[in-house]
């Protein structure tokens, strides 16, 4: 849902990209800023207590903003690349693992729920990547993409109820994983397999 909203704010994001590009034109640098902020958020979670929880919520929100900035800078500077996309996606997963590890260390939620929330969050990203590899576009399918998950964690952390944030993330990630899986299975099931043509001498034509 937030990705669709991002499309409506394209002109604003383009302007923001130009502003940040003046400070640093490398999208990778802004990706790094977002990762560092996520690691600081994870540390804040790990420190425990409401102060750590609230600070982590703020840091998650700011890190999410820089996750948008790096893409905007890449577009306005014409520096989009497969390498950059791979790096951005991979570091996003690293940041997400770190956040849940911090929540686990801080003891904010049952370890089983934290593990399941992280697992299905990663599976949401995996289904999209696998779908793209097979020619099935799954971007925007489901209500639990990374932007939504981070927003949920941020808001619940600021409210001091991150344990509920973990449960909500688990619910939306599970729903999105199932929706993407069924969507991909339906699309791929309708695709016709290419016929095998024998190259042996004397073989009958198909």
CA distance 179 to 186: 11
b/e burial code for range 156-183 (CB count within 10 A of at least 16 → b): bbbeeebbebbbbbbebbbebbebbbeb
Confirm whether 132 is a catalytic residue.
no
CA distance 192 to 17: 42
Among residues 70, 92, 110, 132, the one annotated as catalytic is: 92
- Are 79 and 26 a contacting pair, CB within 8 Å? yes
Residues written for the chain:
206
HEC assignment per residue over 125-176: HHHHHHHHHCCCCCCCCCCCCHHHHHHHHHHHHHCCCHHHHHHHHHHHHHHH
Among 138, 169, 150, 196, smallest CA distance to 37 is for 150
Token pair 């130009």 is found at 18
* Catalytic residue set: 92
């Amino acid at each position: 849902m937030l990705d669709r909203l991002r499309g409506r704010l394209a002109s604003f994001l383009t302007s923001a990209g130009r502003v940040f590009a003046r400070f640093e034109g490398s999208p990778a640098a802004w990706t790094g800023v977002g990762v560092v902020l996520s690691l600081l958020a994870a540390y804040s979670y790990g420190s425990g207590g409401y102060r750590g929880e609230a600070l982590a919520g703020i840091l998650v929100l700011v890190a999410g903003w820089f996750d948008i900035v790096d893409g905007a800078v890449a577009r306005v500077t014409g520096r989009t690349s497969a390498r950059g996309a791979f790096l951005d996606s991979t570091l996003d997963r690293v940041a997400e693992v770190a956040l849940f590890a911090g929540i686990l260390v801080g003891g904010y939620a049952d370890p089983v729920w934290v593990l399941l929330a992280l697992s299905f969050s990663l599976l949401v990203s995996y289904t999209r990547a696998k779908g793209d590899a097979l020619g099935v576009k799954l971007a925007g399918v489901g209500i639990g993409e990374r932007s939504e998950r981070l927003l949920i964690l941020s808001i619940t952390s600021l409210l001091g109820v991150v344990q509920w944030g973990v449960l909500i993330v688990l619910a939306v990630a599970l729903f999105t994983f199932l929706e993407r899986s069924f969507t991909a299975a339906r699309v791929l099931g309708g695709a016709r397999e290419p016929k095998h043509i024998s190259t042996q001498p004397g073989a009958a034509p198909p």
